[in-house]
Every structure is written in C-alpha cells, then in structure tokens.
Amino acid sequence: MIESGPSVEIINVRKVYPSGDEQRAVLDGASATIRAGERVAILGPSGSGKSTLLNLLSGIDEPDSGTIEINGLDLRSLSENQRTLFRRNQIGFVFQSFNLLPALTVLENLLLPLELIGKTGNEANERARFLLEMVELSKRADSFPDRLSGGEQQRIAIARAVVHEPSLLLADEPTGNLDEDTSHRLMERLEDLLTSGKTTLVVVTHSRDLADRMDRALALDHGGLVEY
C-alpha cells in the first residue's frame, strides 16, 4: 500500500458505445485531476457515463482515446494482466449491484481480496472480522449473500472494497438502494474506515447529500467533466 492515495489524471478521455446502428459517445473529451487522498463525488443524470468512468478508472474497461493516469502510471500502457494485478492490489470497488459472490459466505467474500494479494491465515481473518464488526454484521459472517437484505449486502460490499486497504476506492452509487438514514450511517462508516487519509475516494452518485460530504464534486455534462 502506498502512504497516501494516488493522484488521478483523466486526460481527454473518449468512450463510445454502439447504440443500434449508430455509435454514441458516453464520454467525450472528459478531463479532470484528482489529488492524492482527495474525496471526490461524480454527479450526473442516468446514462451520463458515471459508471463507465469508474470502469475506466479501475482498468475494467479501456478508453477509446485519451489517457488515464493513476499516480503517473498510464493504464493504457499496461497489458490486460498487468491491469488486473494493478486492480487487485491498488483498487477497491463498491459496485452498484454489490456484486457479492453467491458461492462464498459473507466472511469468505471479505477474505477473497486478501487471499488474492497473498494475505491468508489469522491476520487476514482478523482483518475481515474487524471490518464485519465495523459494518455491524459480525453475526452474519457465515451467511450466504442471498440471505442478506439489500442494505446488509451494501455494507458487506463496502467492507470488501476496503478490506485490502486499497489506495484508490471507487464507489458506484454506494447508497443508491438505501433510505436516507441508512445512507448516512453507511457513509459515516465508510469515512471511519478511510480516516487514515491514505485512500483516494471517487464516488459516483445521484445524491447531493452524499456529494456534499466529499472534498469536491465533479459533474458529467455532455461527455465532459466539469466542476460542480
């Protein structure tokens, strides 16, 4: 893990998707700089390319043109395998639909990112259980995800995203499925987990409240990124 979260440079990024017979540019010349350790919200209406941007930042997808640099490292210069290893080691991702693995228990879902970076045994177990306590789900450690409510799954998804102490945390509508109170509590927990300031946080959201909790907010507008 690096001492302080990485800086993120988004330079003139363009991403196009086929739409029927035509091509639709979801991102078109998007540029922004996110400083190390900064907490940034990305706002925008549905279909504006928020999730696409997170996929590009995580290396899950590649831009058609433009550059994304994380701490000076151009993701496009990495091979598919290198990008996967980069993601494994540096990135935590809270997916909009939780993306928990149904064949693993709650505890095992948290242990997996640790196992992927080579942490196993007691140390890993303690770290996973600590996070379960933080999200108040210790009692559900041995449950399978399909036995949890939406809110509980969301909390596990957040715990899993931070369990391996990533330097860059990407969260896609982390409170999208929750009511206001639960959202507040959840974000407080997330902030608790990130108090060390070592992690750069990029949150995609519709919620103004959530955006207000961040250091600053960017908005997606006609494929570009602007200060909100």
Partner 1 sequence: MRLLNKASVRYLKQHRLQSVLSLLGVALGVAVVLSIDLAIQSARIGFQVSAETVAGLATHAIQSDRGSIDEDFFTRLKLDLNITEAAPVVEGLVTSTSLPGRTLKILGLDPFSEGPFRPYTSGNSPSLDVNQFITTQGGVILTEELASEGGLTTGDSIVIFSSGVRWALPIVGLFQSEDRLTRSGLSDVLVMDISGAQEVFGMVGTLTRIDLRILDSERSYERTIGEITDNLPSGLRLENVGTRSETMAGMIRAFDVNLTALSLLAIVFGMFLIYNSMTFSVVSRRTSFGRLRALGVTRNEILRLILREAFWVGTVGTVIGLALGVFLAQGLIGLITQTINDLYFALSVREISIDTVSLLKALTMGIGATVISSLPPALEAAGSTPRAASTRSIIESKTRRVIPMLAWSGLALCLLGWLVLLLPTRSLSVSFISLFAIITGMAAITPLGTVVLIEFVQPILSSFFGTLGSMAARGIRTTLSRTAPAIAALVIAVSVTVGLGIMINSFRGTLINWLDGTLQADIYVSLPGPQASRASGTLSDSLIKDFVSADGVVGYSTYRAVDVIRAEDTYRLVALELDQRGEGAFDFQSGDSDAIIRDFQLGRGAIVSEPYAYQRQLDVGDSISLAGEKSARSLPILGVFYDYGSEQGTIIVSRDVYNTAYNDDGVTSLGLFLGDSSQSDGVVQDLLDNVPVGREVTVRSNATLRSASLEVFDRTFKVTGVLRLLTFIVAFVGVLSALTALQMERTHELGLLRASGLTPAQLWRLVVGQSGLMGLIAGVLAIPVGILLSIVMINVINKRSFGWSIQMQIDPEVIIQGIALAFFAALLAGIYPAFRMANTSPSVALRRIGE
Distance of closest approach, residue 60 Cβ to partner 1, in angstroms: 5
Closer residue to partner 1 in complex, CB, 47/197: 47
Site mask for partner 1 (CB under 8 A), range 39-78, x = bound? ----------------x--x-xx-----------------
Contact window for partner 1 (CB under 8 A) among 101-109, 128-136, 182-190, 202-210: 101-109
Closer residue to partner 1 in complex, CB, 61/64: 61
Distance of closest approach, residue 94 Cβ to partner 1, in angstroms: 11
> Which residues between 133 and 172 bind partner 1 (CB under 8 A)?
145-146
Mapping DSSP to helix (H, G, I), strand (E, B) and coil, where does residue 166 land? coil
Angle at 121 between CA 118 and CA 127, to 5 degrees: 85
Residues 6+ apart with CB under 8 A from 106: 100, 132, 137, 140, 141, 142, 143, 144, 145, 148, 156
Closer residue to partner 1 in complex, CB, 168/214: 168
Among 19, 45, 74, 101, which residue interacts with partner 1 (rule: CB under 8 A)? 101
Specify the residue for token string 């996967």.
84
Mapping DSSP to helix (H, G, I), strand (E, B) and coil, where does residue 64 land? coil
Pairwise CA distance, residues 139 & 48, whole Å: 39
Residues 6+ apart with CB under 8 A from 25: 14, 15, 16, 223
Distance of closest approach, residue 91 Cβ to partner 1, in angstroms: 8
- Identify the burial level of 94 via C-beta atoms within 10 angstroms of its C-beta, where 0-12 means exposed, 13-18 middle and 19 or more buried: buried
Contact between 75 and 11 under an 8 Å Cβ cutoff? The reply is no
Closer residue to partner 1 in complex, CB, 61/165: 61
Among 11, 73, 78, 112, which residue interacts with partner 1 (rule: CB under 8 A)? 112
Residue 125 interacts with partner 1 (CB under 8 A): yes or no: no
Distance of closest approach, residue 98 Cβ to partner 1, in angstroms: 9
Beta-strand pair 91-94/216-221: unpaired
Residues that bind partner 1 (CB under 8 A): 55, 58, 60-61, 80-81, 84-85, 87-89, 91, 93, 95, 99-104, 108, 111-113, 115-116, 120, 145-146
